[in-house]
Structure formats: structure tokens, C-alpha cells
Amino acid sequence: IKEKNTLFSLKEIASSREFQISNQIDRIIQQAIKNNMFEMYYQPIYNIKTRQFVSAEALIRLKNDEYGFVPPSMFIPAAEKSGAIHEIGDFVLEEVISFIAENEIEKYGLDYIEINLSVAQCIESNLAEKIMDLLTRYNVSTEKINLEITETSQEVNYDMIEQNINTLS
């Protein structure tokens, strides 16, 4: 690496945890989907005016038996590329909405939960229907979720995204 004047051997790179994970990321993702190895965490959002936590952002984590926690920066782009992001996104939506339904957010004084949507999810023709069905099934008000579209480098069907946003609005 020129910037650091460092020399690495292929053996050193190939044995690194990051290299091994990236080499097997599709298998790791499929195993996580099959064996329910995803976990949801909720990062609180604090309002400095009211001096209270008002919401939380839902964060998905992948815990692999061999490698431990796999960073989202590794598995999310790979899942978007392979199409597995749709199954992962469905898991997130259901987990978060069921969490809200169990009145968990009221226990913590939260008004709503922020849910990140991949652009790949936003171009699903049935996204709005899927979200509304979950809200109805769990008897959760639309005011209890806030959807955020994550950035991506993929080609995008903006018409479908706009249609989904309008339907969800």
C-alpha cells in the first residue's frame, strides 16, 4: 500500500477476517436468512428541546456463528446485489412493527420508530400493500413508524419509488 509504505503478503490478506467474510458473504447471508441469525437493535433518538428520547432507529445486525457480528456495511450492499435484501427487508418490517405492537415503544416513552428502506425495496410494486398489511395485522398506527430511504449506487426506478411514497403517504 503506497500511502503507508506497507507491504502485505497474500497470505496475510487472505487470512484476515474481513477478507474471509467478504469472500463468503453470499453464503453467510443465506445462512442468516435460513437460520434466523438477524437481530434488531434500537438506537434511541434524543430531542434536546424536550430533553427526552422521542424515537429510535431500527438497526439490523447479522450474527454469524463463525465470524460473530458481520458489519452492515458488508452485508447490506451484498444483499442488495444478490436480491436477498427483499427477504431481509421483510424481516425488518415485521420485527419492528411487531415490536411496536407489543407496546414496547411506550415503555421507553418513544413516539415512533425509524425504519430504513433500501432503494431495492422501494421499487417493489407491492411495498405499500406489504407495509399496510403488517400495520393492519399488528394493529399499529401509521404514526408509529417513519420510513427512511437509504442511499445506494444502483440504477433506480424513480417512478415506482414515487408511486410507493405517494401510496404510503
The 10s digit of each residue's pLDDT in 144-168 is 999 998 865 456 666 777 787 788 7
- Cα(31)–Cα(55) distance, integer angstroms: 31
pLDDT: is 121 or 166 the higher one? Answer: 121
Which grid cell sits at 6?
A: 506497507
Output DSSP code: residue 6.
Answer: -
Query: If we measure between CA atoms, which residue out of 82, 83, 33 comes closest to residue 60?
Result: 33
- Cα(105)–Cα(145) distance, integer angstroms: 11
Strand-pairing partners, residue 42, are 58
Residues 60/88, Cβ–Cβ less than 8 Å? yes
Residues 34/88, Cβ–Cβ less than 8 Å? no
pLDDT band at 2 (very low <50, low <70, confident <90, very high): low
pLDDT: is 12 or 130 the higher one? Answer: 130
In this structure, the strands spanning 145-149 and 112-117 are parallel
| pLDDT score at 103 | 78
pLDDT above 60: residue 40:
yes
| pLDDT score at 22 | 86
Q: What is each CA distance from 156 to 106, 119, 124, 126, in whole angstroms? A: 37, 7, 11, 16
Coil, strand, or helix at residue 53? strand
pLDDT above 90: residue 43:
yes
What average pLDDT does the segment 54-74 reach? 94
Q: What is each CA distance from 90 to 5, 23, 60, 126, in whole angstroms? A: 45, 25, 12, 12
